[in-house]
Amino acid sequence: MPALDIDGAFQASPSSPPPRPPSPDVPRRNSFVARSVSRSLSWGGASPSLEKLEMRAQRIFGAKLGELQDPLMEADDMEMRTALQNALAALEETFLVARLTIALYSYLGLGTQWTGKLLRLILYAMLLLPGFIQMAVYYFFSPRITRSIVYGAAARNRLDIHRPPANQTAPEGGFPVVIYITGGAWTIGYKAWGSLLGRRLSKHGVIVYCLDYRNFPQGTVLDMLRDCNTGIRWVLHHAQQNGGDPSRVHLVGQSCGAQLATLALITQTEQEHQKAQLPGGFPAWSPQRVQSLIGVSGVYNCFDLADHFNQRGLYRRLFDRIMSVNGRAALKLFSPTYCVKGVEWGAQLPRVLLLHGTGDTCALFSNATQFRDALQEVGAKVELKSYEGETHTSPLIENPMRGGHDQLVDDILAAVGGPEKGSPTQSPLCPAFLINAAARVCPF
């Protein structure tokens, strides 16, 4: 019998007998998939091709697609909800979070490694508490933020909008738009984590949409991608009415959020080229509407980083479940580096800017260089800018709290067409000695 490797792809041994012919149910299932695709997507009359799905799986895995179709093919019923329904949904999600926390801890176990990292995370947050308190006041009371707008029907389909100050005059066509997908190791992500970056970018004339999405164990990476696709599509449809320029939309992600943003864009570009729905590409949106992709401290090669994550406390048993399809690990399928190898549509991708610290011990800098090289090989426009000695979190959290010049904000503003002179210096949010101590205990 063929063996199932750690990435969920079948490997046939030399002595293995030839695979059995497909069962009579396969054509019926394929027919259902084709009908679902045709109902869910509009390709100008073109028929979706399951053969194209097989070609993609063969390119990424070196094996047949098997059961790697996205099971969530049908369109959501996007009914308008009343205020009472929204309140009940929020209450339901509160109870759900408690149950999911227990489920997540069952995967992490009571090992000293994870417990130690949790204690370090708590200490990290306590040391930076003066800055976090100021950000909490801004987040909950600033008139520039509209919180928890519903963008989809699934749980946690909410987003925050960070708007420029009221005294800023919008340029012709509207303000540039950033869609920001936060990190959080696929387990603790939350839209409010983007408020520090959202505050600074919006202050300099950018409208920032921070997307929330389901975390594990509430969903696997396919559910996260479905949420991100739904949120991106919502922003593309509503950017103009919220004061944004629909021709200047940029996609930004940090850590695992960079992986999700990149996968969403790659998959939309490929399925538009293939004229067939692909795993992680539902619901569809036009990749031509995005002007650039900016990855900050991103995860681009789950397959190669899996053992490294395991040593750092994101255990392989948990990681395989997060990156699974129908219960089988599919690490290469969700690794942007593998997804772009050998494609003929690389030049169709928008400009890609990768911002990464050379001292990142979580998402290693080498993983960003691999992705840059893979993009260059297929003709994509890509730039990797290294932050010498910076860690996984320092460009996003510690450095902005120090005040002064914010290199990350400047690089993003330059990419989205912000002020040519860059951002002015900022006042510190936290004493330097607390930031230095927090940097030493940071578990990421």
Q: Hey, which residues are catalytic here?
A: 255, 360, 392
For residue 198, how many other CB atoms are within 10 A of its CB? 28
Phi-psi region of 154 (alpha: psi -120 to 50; beta: other; left: phi over 0): beta
Q: What phi and psi values does residue 48 have, to the nearest 5 degrees? A: -65, 150
Q: What are the respective helix, strand and coil percentages of the chain, to the nearest 5? A: 45, 15, 40
Rg value, the chain, Cα: 22
CA distance 276 to 438: 48
- Cβ neighbors of 427 (< 8 A, separation 6 or more) are 403
Closest listed residue to residue 104, CA positions, set 112, 113, 94, 114: 114
Strands 175-181 and 3-4 turn out to be unpaired
| Residue given tokens 């959501």 in the structure block | 76
CA distance 300 to 372: 10
**Taking a C-beta distance cutoff of 8 angstroms, is the pair 70, 281 a contact?**
yes
Closest listed residue to residue 368, CA positions, set 412, 335, 344: 335
**Taking a C-beta distance cutoff of 8 angstroms, is the pair 281, 324 a contact?**
no
CA distance 287 to 269: 6
Could you give the C-alpha distances from 379 to 15, 252, 278, 288, 372, in angstroms and in order?
40, 21, 22, 17, 11
| Residue given tokens 């009472």 in the structure block | 84
DSSP state for residue 429 in the 8-state scheme: S
